[in-house]
Structure 1
Amino acid sequence: MGLGLGIPGTALLLTERSDLLAYAVFGSVVGMYGRDPRRLQRLKDQLLGAALMLCAGICGIAVAPLGLHGWTLLAGGIFWAVLSSVVADHHGLKPGGAFFPLFAFGALGTLPVGETLALDGLVAFVATALFSILLGQMARFGPAAEYGIKTLPIPWPNIGRRAVTYLVVILVAGSIGIFLHAEHLQWTMAGAAVPLAAGNARGRIKRGAHRIAGTLAGIAVLLGLQLLEPSELVIGCCIILLMFPTEAYMVRNYGLALSFFTPLIILMLQLANPVIGIQMVWDCAMGNLLGVIVGIVVAAIIERRPRLQYSSGVVG
């Protein structure tokens, strides 16, 4: 993951195109799907993960000139959340769930690109994703402890049930966000999706607490960086460096991973849109809080008892 973003990211910084780092970051997420020590299985997982990320992200890039917001943004987010949930559960992808494709669609679909398609961003996004797959095939590593645990396939009724839960939770959270005139609805949708990675009420509360704590810690890190008034070059380097601990802790300590991922995301969005200020930080915190609370409460209503058990290592 470090090389998957580090090499394309450095190339963008050297060519003074730090505004394209947002696209490269989401392309490099494809590297997170390369966890299996078996090279062929790793390739299958990364190709499937790349298909989800690229389809969701390209869809976001394509509609960005339309000024996506409100109900149209919510409808698109629901579609990618449900589709990603079904595909990830059926194929046992790690990281699983709907978080990354959903957020890629929301974040890239709301970038201020004017009335023209961001072809340079599209190239950076696709090229970084393909480069991450190449790195995945070049890497050699032995099995870790997490691969010694045999996970049972999830039956289709449970896959469908969680997909419906995603639909209802994101619909409710997004509707509340629209009613409250939330400026960055993608944060609310992403926050609502996170607790659903857990298979029972206790797990959802724990995961939601990790989300909130990690986001707040990340905002504190971000504010500390901004006090130093770093240049665009320094910000770009920070984004690249923050990706490594994000990946390192994503399946081990979700809250700690988010303390790195949150400033990474906000910094890359600020490079893409320099007019973003402290309001983005506030929207991130409030959107995540709203989404997590709605996700926990609505999922608890839909699933009155913890019927579903999912494999470990999912992130949303």
Structure 2
Amino acid sequence: MNNQTNVPHEPASSPRARVLSPAFAALTWRRFLLAHSPEIRPALRVGFGLAIPGAILMLIGHTDLMVYAVFGSVVGMYGRSQHRLQRLKDQLLAGAMMLCAGVSGIILAPWGLDGWALVAGGIFWASASSLTADRYGLKPGGSFFPVFAFGALASLPVEQAPSLGGLAAFTLTALIGVILGQTARFGSTAQDPFGHDPIPWPDALRRATCYACVVLLAGALGIGLQFDHLQWVIAGSVVPLAAGNARGRLSRGVHRVAGTVAGLVVLLGIYYLQLPDLALALAIILLMFPTEGYMTRNYGLALSFFTPLIMLMLELADPSVNAEVLWERALGNLLGVLAGILGALIFDRKPR
């Protein structure tokens, strides 16, 4: 007598059987990897765009200029068109935009720009770079990088004259980014393969106005709450606006906060090692690779690398930075993100 219990088998075509099948599991895993894996080619292009001038700065003993090189390397993030001519046009335009924002910050740094003067500069570059990116279809869109470059470089403690060494590092790194952009090759999965998707003037002007209003709101809140590092509030406020609707802005803001918190944990681990300046400069270069690799795949994960990168580069430029300053910057960033989400709901309700 057979005492075994007969267990009915799932039909091969049933939903449960398909879910449990090895082929389905392999396909699901492949989709997950594609959704969250870094983009290798752009990451290498931007990473080496910082590694080359960064190595030069380390060899000549000027790791304090690494902050200028980092902002110059941002030019490499623009221009992913498969067509080299279009890619060159995009990178030259982005390079001009970044250089104008950064150079204005470098020139104004000896005056110790702060308060409403810093807010006014942030308003100008937020609206101007938004208008430029929209009208010429630059990717990544939005105003974050030009606004942050202006605010960070304008707030650096310098002598009575602008940093000529910083200006040279900034310009050289941007030029290297353009050259590497012309040597790069992108496959069929390249983002924005035609490289150009301009937005009509009325919509571009509306969005630029929204950026200006949001920076004004964030700046007023930062001044009212007496934040000493107002540039972090301003830079954080423009992050959510890159998304096209309320849900996207909230998601981008949450990613920004989560990535910043995770990045601070990474930063504390680096501080625990008590690395010398040369090792910190090398860490900055290495952090640029995953930052760009995940920027379009997983924004929150990218920021977990970008946050310690920017904190370290600013520390090399200003050794007086301590833990209290770092936390105040993080809180300023959080306030800016909240102001950006609130300002977008008030000033730009129309979804894009």
The answer to whether structure 1 residue 262 and structure 2 residue 310 are counterparts is no
The structure whose Rg is larger is 2
CA drift at 1:117: 1.4
CA drift at 1:137: 1.1
Secondary structure of 1:146's match?
coil
2: CA distance, partners of 1:202 / 1:151: 26
Instruction: Select which of 106, 125, 146 maps to 2:191.
Output: 146
Confirm or deny: 8 A CA contact 2:81 2:191 kept in the other structure.
no
Instruction: Select which of 293, 307, 316 maps to 2:338.
Output: 293
1:14-33 correspondence to structure 2 within 5 Å: 14-33=59-78
1: CA distance, partners of 2:304 / 2:105: 26
2: CA distance, partners of 1:262 / 1:150: 28
Instruction: Select which of 240, 247, 266 maps to 1:195.
Output: 240
Task: Give unmatched runs, 5+ long, in structure 2.
Answer: 1-45
TM-score of the superposition, structure 2-length normalised?
Answer: 0.85
CA drift at 1:8: 0.4
CA drift at 1:37: 1.7
The answer to whether structure 1 residue 308 and structure 2 residue 319 are counterparts is no
Percent of aligned positions with the same letter in both sequences?
Answer: 60
Task: Give unmatched runs, 5+ long, in structure 1.
Answer: 310-316
CA drift at 1:158: 1.4
Post-superposition Cα deviations, 1:175-215, rounded to whole Å, max 9, x if no partner, equal: 11011111111110111000000111111100000100011
CA drift at 1:150: 9.4
2: CA distance, partners of 1:49 / 1:66: 27
Confirm or deny: 8 A CA contact 2:102 2:153 kept in the other structure.
yes
CA drift at 1:157: 1.6
1: CA distance, partners of 2:68 / 2:347: 35
Letter of the 1:91 partner, please give it.
Answer: Y
Confirm or deny: 8 A CA contact 1:187 1:283 kept in the other structure.
no
The answer to whether structure 1 residue 111 and structure 2 residue 156 are counterparts is yes
CA drift at 1:299: 1.1
Q: Which moved more, 1:34-43 or 1:233-242?
A: 34-43
2: CA distance, partners of 1:117 / 1:154: 36
The answer to whether structure 1 residue 236 and structure 2 residue 281 are counterparts is yes
2: CA distance, partners of 1:138 / 1:25: 20
The equivalent residue for 1:245 is 290
The answer to whether structure 1 residue 64 and structure 2 residue 117 are counterparts is no
Going from structure 1 to structure 2, the CA distance change for 1:156 and 1:18 (only over 3 Å counts) comes to: same
Going from structure 1 to structure 2, the CA distance change for 1:146 and 1:121 (only over 3 Å counts) comes to: closer
1: CA distance, partners of 2:225 / 2:167: 32
2: CA distance, partners of 1:10 / 1:72: 35
The answer to whether structure 1 residue 88 and structure 2 residue 133 are counterparts is yes
1: CA distance, partners of 2:83 / 2:196: 16
Confirm or deny: 8 A CA contact 2:288 2:309 kept in the other structure.
yes
The answer to whether structure 1 residue 186 and structure 2 residue 231 are counterparts is yes
2: CA distance, partners of 1:145 / 1:9: 27
Secondary structure of 1:140's match?
coil
Letter of the 2:330 partner, please give it.
Answer: A
The answer to whether structure 1 residue 6 and structure 2 residue 56 are counterparts is no
Letter of the 1:19 partner, please give it.
Answer: D
Letter of the 2:146 partner, please give it.
Answer: P
Going from structure 1 to structure 2, the CA distance change for 1:271 and 1:152 (only over 3 Å counts) comes to: closer
2: CA distance, partners of 1:75 / 1:18: 30
Confirm or deny: 8 A CA contact 2:86 2:195 kept in the other structure.
no
1: CA distance, partners of 2:76 / 2:294: 14
Post-superposition Cα deviations, 1:264-311, rounded to whole Å, max 9, x if no partner, equal: 00000000010111123212211111111111112112234xx332xx
CA drift at 1:151: 8.0
1: CA distance, partners of 2:328 / 2:93: 32
CA drift at 1:79: 0.2
Q: CA RMSD in A?
A: 1.4
Confirm or deny: 8 A CA contact 2:137 2:197 kept in the other structure.
no
The equivalent residue for 1:124 is 169
Confirm or deny: 8 A CA contact 2:241 2:249 kept in the other structure.
yes
Confirm or deny: 8 A CA contact 2:241 2:340 kept in the other structure.
yes
TM-score of the superposition, structure 1-length normalised?
Answer: 0.94
The equivalent residue for 2:82 is 37
Confirm or deny: 8 A CA contact 1:242 1:264 kept in the other structure.
yes
Confirm or deny: 8 A CA contact 2:233 2:336 kept in the other structure.
yes
CA drift at 1:152: 5.5
The equivalent residue for 2:209 is 164
CA drift at 1:153: 3.8
Secondary structure of 2:75's match?
helix
Confirm or deny: 8 A CA contact 1:266 1:280 kept in the other structure.
no
2: CA distance, partners of 1:140 / 1:72: 42
